[in-house]
Structure 1
Amino acid sequence: MKFQEISDKLTQFINRYNYLAEDQPANVLFLLKCIVLKYLVDNQRLDFEVHQKDIKKNFTLDYILGLWQGKPLQVSFWEQEQIDPQPIGNEVWDWVSDLTTAAPSLAGENPRLIGSLYEASLLINHKKNHGIFYTPENIATYMASNVLGTYEVGDKLEKIRVLDPACGSGSLLSAIYDTIILKNGELSPCERQTQHRQLLETGLLGVDRDSIACLVTRLILTLKGKQYVKPLGIFCGDILTEELINPQSVDVVIGNPPYVGHKEIQTDYMKLLKNRYGEVYRDKGDLSYCFIYRGWELLKPGGQLIHITSRYFVEAFYGKPLRVFIRKAFAIQEVIDFNGLRVIEGVGVDPAIIKLVKKTQIDEGQTIQVKRFFIKSHKPESYPKLIQSLNQNNWQGDLYESFELLQAQLSDDSWRLYSPVMQGIIEKIEKKTPFTLDNVVQSFQGIITGNDKAFIFEQTDPTLCAFDPALLKSWIKNKDVRAYQITSPQKKILYTNRIGAIDLYPEVVAHLEKHREKLKNRRECKNGKLAWYKLQWGRDPDHFEGRKIIFPYKATQNRFAIDENKCYFSADVYGMILKPRLYHQVTEEFLVMLLNSRLYNYYFKSYGKKLGDKLYEYYPNTLLRLGIPDIKEDTIKVFKDTYDKIVDLKKNGSALESGKILAEIDRWFYDYFELSQAEIAVIETNR
């Protein structure tokens, strides 16, 4: 309630005195000074009544902090603050006085509150525009206590150097500070001040490209002490491209690196990173990959790295170079897989916590502690309970599973973090699958038009009557593809990529002319590779014209169907065509029944890339690694008959009857792979 009242006051000020909003940094800096002043006054480190007239005239951080110190600062606290502050009008000063004296008191509050106020009230638009999301306090506390758990009170802990390479508003460094103080136990005021000074001057290091965020971090750390000490290790800059920290000089790297994909990075900066971090950062890699490599460079031998980061690198195709690097450069101690639960509010990325130790030689017996949350419908208000469960020795078995596996078992193609039960099931499958799906099919992606308004039509659109019917093709999207079924197409695509001379189709020209400017501005048209009237990525039309298996690119479960109606489809759908059957008897019907089975739904999800708590990415590079059994020809014929029955029953809406047949198919595959009843129960409950 206290936090909300102060946050509301700050928001009201921004809305009321919007002339300050024209200069965002000045606006934020002014309000930060107000919060710092209030914190010092409420905690009896500064007498507001005595100094308020002078503060109004000299409303700078240096002056306010100098009053706390008892003498003017010899070295400026924040180098970027104006030396000559703008005068404060009486109306604004009255608001400052009211905030300082009348608002809920901050006495005894952890200065981390300043970071929370900054994030909640002062940074709303800035965060959205720059992809900045800070670490929740409970996660920061868990990470700090986890990584410092091996350090004992004494010389080693007192001399520890901890770096946050993308420190933001200081939540992780604040948690490190608090954890160290807690581990030290009862200290005399003099000992406490000595520890405070050591941490701020040599122990805690932070870097961020956002100068105001660095200021917030400095303020939080400074205000944790009874006496003024300036943090000397917080730098504004880019840890990835600047030499701000000496190599092999830190004991711990703790971080929540930015979640930035290749599409959001400027070309010149990306080239710089690929040149500098080429061992881990290539093609469509994530910026966070560079932070792990940079952390390794800065760590002492035996130093620890703990990051909360996107879990995508565990399975992503473009994460392979990073997986290779981690496996040879670090002993992997722990992986906490939130399994699609987005426990950082507002972040559309699935997080995981990974804890590593820098090693030159990895023991063959190195074990990884894996904690993976079960897929359930958790509401955001329950997330604190999930984080709290990680700290409990008697963890709640209904929230996550905990198991160990050998680091040597990890494959560079994908880290399959399997529990013993899952490992047993997968081993049984792969023991009896001599082929992979990649051996038996060729995959292809759907069409990208570059301008759907120009090429896609409703079936009932009268415009279609003017076109040559040979140019019109049935058009489907992700939602139209179900297991065993494709809904009747409701749209048509004007497929222009087989047109040689556009002048022979005046009705097409007349229609596309309305979109000509946008069509000409497509990249491929501008560089001369594509005629203005063609689809941007029309693919090979022969693939669409033949018999094929299709499936959605993103789905909550396996949805494969055979298309025999020459449907064309968008890029959120993929197709598969059988390769020549030189050494197997696989048919489209068998593959669809296998891939739609409960067993293969479980199999794919055991290593497929997650997108949220239940959604998966069916990218061919991942999907085609599925093992495929070698089935006899007479069995294949039985599957063909069964497939026809399922399709017919689904068309007629006989859900009960089709359900019985599907259950029989599931049982056939369970028996074929020799699964136990206990293993079947796991599959049935994890669908």
Structure 2
Amino acid sequence: MKLEKYIALKNKYGHAKEIDTHKLYASGAVYTPDEPANHLAKMAILQYLRINKPNFVPSFEAFFENNVVDENAHSLFNLLKSLKVLDLASGSGMLVLTYVELMIRFSNAIHLNSHAFIKDMLENKIVVFDISEDAINKYKELCLALGKAYGLRDEIQFKAVYCQNSLISDLSPYNNTFDLILGNPPYIGEKGNTKIFNVLKESNFGSKWYEGKMDYFYFFIYKGYDLLKSNGVLCYLTSNYFFTADGAKKLRNFIFETFYLSSLLNYGAQSVFGDYKLHAAIYTLQKDKCNTVYLYNKNCNCVSEVSHETVFDKELNMHFISDPMIYKILSKMEAQSIGTLEAYYDVFQGIVSGLDRKDGEGVFVYKDKEVDRLPESVKPFLKPFYKNSAICHYHHKGTTPYSILYITKNRAPKEIESLLFPYKALLENRREVKNGVRKWYELTWPRQENVFLGPKIIVPQRAKANYFAFDSGDFFASADIYFIKDTLFSIYSLEVLTMVLNARLYKLWLTYKGKRKGDLLELYATPLKKIPLPNLSDKQKNLLNAHFSGSEQSVLPIVDVDKIIYEAYGFTPEEIKYMDTLD
């Protein structure tokens, strides 16, 4: 019965809604479900054994998967129970308690009658920090319940449980102390949390590692490095966005040069936290340099190994390509390309209005039926305003029910202030207005008007496929659309470039070498600029261009475009056959 009470208490306290956390963690703390918690413990231990006791790896795997013990079991148990374990943002302790539960299961498997090791682990081997007193109290309550469930008579002395912000506390006495650091640190962006970030940025530790657009959990990686032993392992469950995020360049460089990534379970689009939308990954980092990265599937089985050097591209973005044929194809693209898109074309982001609509009414963006009510002097400033859902392969849907008031510096109708006056307080609160960059009635970031006029390629910020559409008219859009314009250095027409970028090969490139959010491609400026371009012959350019003209733009089917692109890159029949089997 005591064990059932512990389990019920753990289920209750494990959910974030039961924990009255401090505002610091309120938007970023999530309960770690049992399955990923077990995956994290398994990956951490396996990597520790690979470094320190590789002959114990089969023994641990046999126990973990099938509860089978062998001649190494007692030695392995004694090793694991002696490890020093840390969680820097423990919440109510789900991860470290999962580790203790694993050790209890191990002790039962080897018929160890005494559970005195539980007390020693909770008092001396496991160290936890959390900023929430409520969470720390629940962790203590869970530890006591677990102890009673296994017959501990003495009270547990919580000598290594701290209600502190571990990032700003002086933990130097703990430097190079821990064998394992486990964590599911809070996911908080700087936007909307500047006060939290400022506290860290004012410290020596925070100012050293801060970078713009970073996530708060990056700091826990840096802090963990200082506290980890030279042969230890850090294992975290976090967002996977830092693999390619622009705001994680310093972090990726740190991982590349100093804190080596050694195993990964990337959940991709799979939901790990129920309704909490996060694209997550579990990974291990170690100070000991490694040449191999072990890749796990969603069931936490190691399915492949990749070379550490193949994980990072030239800009140190991280890509995990386990399929050798895909790696070969993408490497050939880079080697045979004439250069990247940014060398020959300009890439621009769309408009940021600051307030499109409010309470169903137009502010800067109006529906067709609302336009008639606008003053006549305002109407010449209306421009067709498209949504990113209008963009398909090659083309976009020809009409839009929306218009935007394109109000820029020194270009505004006389009635604009009275028209927008009901929203003045909101518009004045924008950063650019406060800083004197914009008048309160102007668009926040109107961009240069010529971006939206004349020939251009339009790209949705996120899409299921490589949707690149050509447009030669007026096409105004928000910041969730990017625009590619030609320059004096462009190597072929925008029409030809449109054909090229819609080829199947470029979906493959953007899937494995671009940025992704779950199953969606992220077609931001950085991944667009880094797209390699084929060195097309005049004949190939003419063939593509000949099939892209007229008002209806009768284009070649993508499969025929593919053949031209394959030829330009010199792919072999074997490589082409393989690509044609891909979705």
Taking structure 1 as the reference length, the TM-score comes to: 0.73
The aligned runs of 1:156-555 (5 Å cut-off) are: 156-184=79-107, 185-186=109-110, 189=113, 191-193=114-116, 195-225=117-147, 226-227=151-152, 228-244=155-171, 246-267=174-195, 269-270=197-198, 272-273=200-201, 275-359=204-288, 362=289, 366-371=291-296, 386=298, 389-391=299-301, 402-407=304-309, 410-411=312-313, 412-419=315-322, 420-452=324-356, 453-460=362-369, 461-464=371-374, 466-467=376-377, 469-487=379-397, 488-497=399-408, 499-500=410-411, 505-555=413-463
Residue 569 of structure 2 is matched in structure 1 by 673
Residue 602 of structure 1 is matched in structure 2 by 508
Residue 565 of structure 1 is matched in structure 2 by 473
The residue type paired with residue 628 of structure 1 is L
Q: CA deviation at 1:125?
A: 8.5
Paired positions, count: 538
**3-state SS of 1:643 partner:** coil
Q: CA deviation at 1:476?
A: 0.9
CA distance in 1, matches of 2:537, 2:310: 36
CA distance in 2, matches of 1:198, 1:586: 70
> Is the aligned partner of 1:648 residue 2:553?
yes
**3-state SS of 1:355 partner:** strand
Q: CA deviation at 1:155?
A: 5.1
Deviations 1:250-309 (A, max 9, x none): 111011111111114233633524752445430001111111111110011111111111
Q: 1:685 to 1:164 in 2, by over 3 A?
A: farther
8 Å contact from structure 2 (residues 547, 553) kept in 1: no
8 Å contact from structure 2 (residues 197, 216) kept in 1: no
The aligned runs of 1:579-594 (5 Å cut-off) are: 579-581=487-489, 585-594=491-500
> Is the aligned partner of 1:116 residue 2:116?
no
Deviations 1:97-155 (A, max 9, x none): xxxxxxxxxxx337244222124495288699533211111211222133224264365
Q: CA deviation at 1:205?
A: 1.2
8 Å contact from structure 1 (residues 340, 610) kept in 2: no
8 Å contact from structure 2 (residues 20, 134) kept in 1: no
The residue type paired with residue 451 of structure 1 is L
Extract unaligned runs of 5+ from structure 2. Answer: 54-74, 357-361
Q: CA deviation at 1:616?
A: 2.2
**3-state SS of 2:300 partner:** helix
Q: 1:647 to 1:606 in 2, by over 3 A?
A: farther
The aligned runs of 1:609-620 (5 Å cut-off) are: 609-612=515-518, 614-620=519-525
- RMSD over equivalenced CA pairs, Å: 2.6
Q: 1:468 to 1:162 in 2, by over 3 A?
A: closer
The residue type paired with residue 157 of structure 2 is K
Q: 1:156 to 1:124 in 2, by over 3 A?
A: closer
Q: 1:112 to 1:442 in 2, by over 3 A?
A: farther
CA distance in 2, matches of 1:684, 1:290: 43
Q: CA deviation at 1:580?
A: 0.8
Deviations 1:400-447 (A, max 9, x none): x53322347623531121221211110121121021011011111111
8 Å contact from structure 1 (residues 259, 349) kept in 2: no
Deviations 1:588-641 (A, max 9, x none): 0111111111110111111222212x1122111122111112222332222111
The residue type paired with residue 511 of structure 2 is K
The residue type paired with residue 393 of structure 2 is A
8 Å contact from structure 2 (residues 264, 281) kept in 1: yes
**3-state SS of 1:466 partner:** coil
The residue type paired with residue 373 of structure 2 is T
**3-state SS of 2:459 partner:** strand
CA distance in 1, matches of 2:443, 2:7: 53
8 Å contact from structure 2 (residues 510, 521) kept in 1: no
CA distance in 2, matches of 1:546, 1:467: 25
CA distance in 2, matches of 1:313, 1:436: 23
**3-state SS of 1:390 partner:** coil
CA distance in 2, matches of 1:348, 1:608: 21
8 Å contact from structure 1 (residues 222, 231) kept in 2: no
Considering fraction of residues, name the structure with more helix. Answer: 1
Extract unaligned runs of 5+ from structure 1. Answer: 1-41, 44-107, 374-385, 396-400, 650-657
CA distance in 1, matches of 2:144, 2:267: 34
Q: CA deviation at 1:354?
A: 0.9
**3-state SS of 1:489 partner:** coil
8 Å contact from structure 1 (residues 262, 287) kept in 2: yes
Match of 1:576 among 478, 484, 500: 484
Taking structure 2 as the reference length, the TM-score comes to: 0.86
The alignment-based identity, stated in percent, is 27
Residue 359 of structure 2 is matched in structure 1 by none
**3-state SS of 1:585 partner:** coil
Range 415-424 or range 339-348, more displaced:
339-348
Q: CA deviation at 1:531?
A: 1.4
Q: 1:685 to 1:212 in 2, by over 3 A?
A: farther
CA distance in 2, matches of 1:647, 1:265: 49
The structure with more radius of gyration = 1
Q: CA deviation at 1:553?
A: 0.9
Q: 1:167 to 1:310 in 2, by over 3 A?
A: same
8 Å contact from structure 1 (residues 279, 325) kept in 2: no
Q: 1:478 to 1:414 in 2, by over 3 A?
A: same
The residue type paired with residue 406 of structure 2 is Y
